[in-house]
């Protein structure tokens, strides 16, 4: 069994808790008022491997930077959530990603950027193209979805994070399976039980 720890971050009212509950139970409950950290746990089969998933949902506004950094160090991968109807929530994402990168100090940090509330098109303040561009700039994967209406899309976003980050490095590798790293002038090559991946050599040890 492979343990995978995920931290979900984003502004208030973007649907973080709703996404966690949707993934864990497939149920949607619209209104939450989380004032404290909550850890959700479940098991999933991913690529014929049993994965023990933990998702930590923290109220960012209530946590000091030191507590947020502690949560970041705990996590193997990250879901960064914004609402397409809240431009401010979108603008806060780069700062969160910078804090993750500075805290983890890792070669690659598995991250999926999620634009939620895609069902509320009439109130859209962030275009799909803007979300895609930000994901490219931050070197993370991108999903735009509706937690309220698309349970399969929620499942796909979390499973994608469990499998790979944007450069193709599996979280499984980071959680204890055998790994080798080799270097040449153009690429870093990662080999593990799930195969090999090439990452541009601009990433440094």
Q: pTM of the entire structure?
A: 0.79
Residue 79 has a pLDDT of 98
pLDDT at 37: 85
Instruction: Tell me the C-alpha distance between 50 and 148, whole Å.
Output: 27
Q: Determine the pLDDT at residue 107.
A: 73
Class of 2-178 per CATH?
alpha beta
Alpha helix (H) residue ranges in the chain: 16-25, 65-74, 87-91, 93-104, 128-138, 151-163, 171-174
Q: What is the pLDDT of residue 143?
A: 96
Question: Can you list the residues of the chain whose pLDDT is less than 50?
Answer: 165-168, 172-205
- pLDDT for 28 equals 82
Task: Evaluate whether 100 touches 110 at the Cβ level (below 8 Å).
Answer: no
- At residue 32, the pLDDT reads 61
Written as six digits, the tokens of 65 are: 């930077």
CA dist., res. 84 & res. 88, Å (int): 10
**In sequence order, what are the residues at sequence separation of 6 or more whose Cβ sits closer than 8 angstroms to the Cβ of residue 88?**
11
At residue 183, the pLDDT reads 33
pLDDT recorded at residue 158:
95
Both tokens of residue 164?
A: 């790979």
d(CA 16, CA 78): 12
Dihedral pair phi/psi, residue 60, rounded to 5°: -55, -40
Task: Give the Cα-Cα-Cα angle 144, 145, 151 (nearest 5 degrees).
Answer: 145
List residues bridging with 83 in a β-sheet.
Answer: 116
């Amino acid at each position: 069994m492979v343990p995978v720890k995920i931290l979900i971050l984003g502004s208030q009212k973007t649907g973080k808790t709703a996404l966690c509950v949707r993934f864990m139970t497939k149920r949607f409950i619209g209104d939450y008022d989380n004032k404290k950290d909550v850890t959700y746990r479940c098991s999933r089969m991913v690529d014929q491997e049993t994965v023990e998933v933990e998702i930590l949902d923290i109220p960012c506004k209530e946590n000091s930077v030191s507590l947020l950094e502690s949560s970041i160090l705990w996590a193997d991968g990250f879901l960064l959530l914004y609402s397409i109807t809240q431009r401010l929530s979108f603008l806060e994402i780069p700062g969160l990603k910078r804090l993750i990168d500075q805290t983890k100090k890792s070669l690659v940090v598995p991250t999926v950027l999620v634009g939620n509330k895609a069902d509320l098109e009439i109130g859209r303040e962030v275009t799909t193209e803007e979300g895609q561009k930000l994901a490219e700039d931050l070197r993370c994967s991108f999903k735009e979805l509706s937690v309220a209406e698309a349970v399969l899309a929620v499942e796909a976003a979390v499973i994608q994070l469990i499998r790979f980050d944007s450069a193709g490095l599996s979280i499984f590798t980071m959680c204890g399976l055998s790994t080798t790293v080799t270097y040449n002038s153009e690429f870093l090559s990662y080999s593990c039980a799930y195969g090999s991946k090439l990452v541009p050599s601009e990433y440094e040890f």
